[in-house]
Amino acid sequence: MITRTYLKAWLILAVLFVLVLSGCAQAAQPNPWPDSQVAQAAAADQPSADEAGEEAADNHGEGEGADTMNVANKDANDDHGDDAAPANDDHGDGGDDDHGKQDADVDYVPDVTFTLETALGPKGLGFVGKGGDIDGQFNPTLVVPKGAVVQITLVNGDGIEHDVAFPDFDAHSDHIATKGSSSTFAFRADKVGEFAYYCTVPGHREAGMEGVIKVVEDVAGEDQEEAGAAVGEDIVRDPTEVPPPVGDREPTLVRVELETKEVVGQLADGTTFTYWTFGGKVPGPMIRIREGDTVEIRLKNSPDSQMTHSIDLHSVNGPGGGAVLTQTPPGEERVFTFKGLQPGLYVYHCATPLVAQHIANGMYGLILVEPEGGLPEVDREFYVMQGEIYTQGRTGEKGFQEFSFDKLMAEEPEYVVFNGMAGGLTRDEYALRVNTGETVRIYFGVGGPNLISSFHIIGEIFDRVYDEADLTSPPLTNVQTTLVPPGGATVVEFTVEVPGRYILVDHALTRLEKGLVGFLYAEGPDVPEVYKEGPAE
- Please tell me the predicted confidence (pLDDT) of residue 101: 55
**Sequence letter at residue 423:** G
Residue after which a domain boundary falls, among 192, 226, 260: 226
Half-sphere exposure of 51 (CA within 13 A, CB side): 13
- The residue out of 206, 226, 246 marking a domain boundary is 226
Predicted confidence (pLDDT) per residue in 77-107, tens digit: 343 333 333 333 333 333 334 445 555 455 5
Q: How much of the chain, in percent, has pLDDT values that exceed 90?
A: 72
Domain ranges, residue 507: 68-83+234-523
Q: 101-125: per-residue pLDDT in tens? A: 555 455 557 888 999 999 987 778 9
Residue 54 lies in a domain: no
* Interval 139-186: pLDDT, tens: 999 999 998 899 999 999 999 999 999 999 999 999 999 999 999 999
355 and 450 belong to one structural domain: yes
Let me know whether 212 and 328 are in one domain.
no
High-pLDDT (> 70) share of the chain, %? 77
pLDDT of 276 above 90:
yes
In this structure, the answer to whether residues 178 and 318 fall within a common structural domain is: no
Q: Determine, yes or no, domain membership for 57.
A: no
In b/e form, how buried is each residue of 399-426, taking b as 16+ CB within 10 angstroms?
A: eebebbeebbeeeebbbbbbbbbbbbbb
Query: Shortest CA distance to 442 belongs to which of 506, 491, 489?
Result: 491
pLDDT given at position 535: 94
**Domain annotation covers residue 367:** yes
Q: Of the candidates 197, 226, 255, which is a domain's last residue?
A: 226
Is the pLDDT reported for residue 67 higher than 70?
Answer: no
21 and 107 share one domain: yes
Burial of residue 164 (number of CB atoms within 10 Å: 0-12, 13-18, 19+): buried
| CATH code of the domain containing 271 | 2.60.40.420
CA 241/CA 489 separation, integer angstroms: 17
Cβ atoms of 164 and 212 within 8 Å: the answer is: no
Same domain, 428 and 517: yes
CA dihedral 435, 436, 441, 443 (to 10 degrees): 70
d(CA 374, CA 242): 15
pTM for the model:
0.69
CA distance linking residue 470 with residue 491, whole number of Å: 8
- Residue 24 is given by DSSP the state T
Q: Are residues 261 and 398 in the same domain?
A: yes
| pLDDT tens digits, 26-37 | 433 333 333 333
Does residue 313 form part of some domain? yes
**Residues 453 and 386 sit within 8 Å (Cβ to Cβ):** yes
The predicted model gives 397-417 an average pLDDT of 96
207 & 256 share domain: no
Q: Are residues 272 and 157 in the same domain?
A: no
Please indicate, yes or no, if residue 442 is contained in any of the structural domains: yes
Residue 530 forms part of a structural domain = no
List Cα–Cα distances, 176 to 32, 33, 169, 220, in angstroms: 14, 14, 20, 34
Phi, psi at residue 268, to the nearest 5°? -155, 175
**Number of structural domains the chain divides into:** 2
Instruction: Please check whether residues 218 and 253 belong to one and the same domain.
Output: no
Chain segment 450-460, per-residue pLDDT in tens: 999 999 999 99
What pLDDT, on a 0 to 100 scale, did the predictor assign at position 485? Answer: 98
- Please check whether residues 384 and 506 belong to one and the same domain: yes
Choose among 433, 312, 452: nearest CA to 386: 452
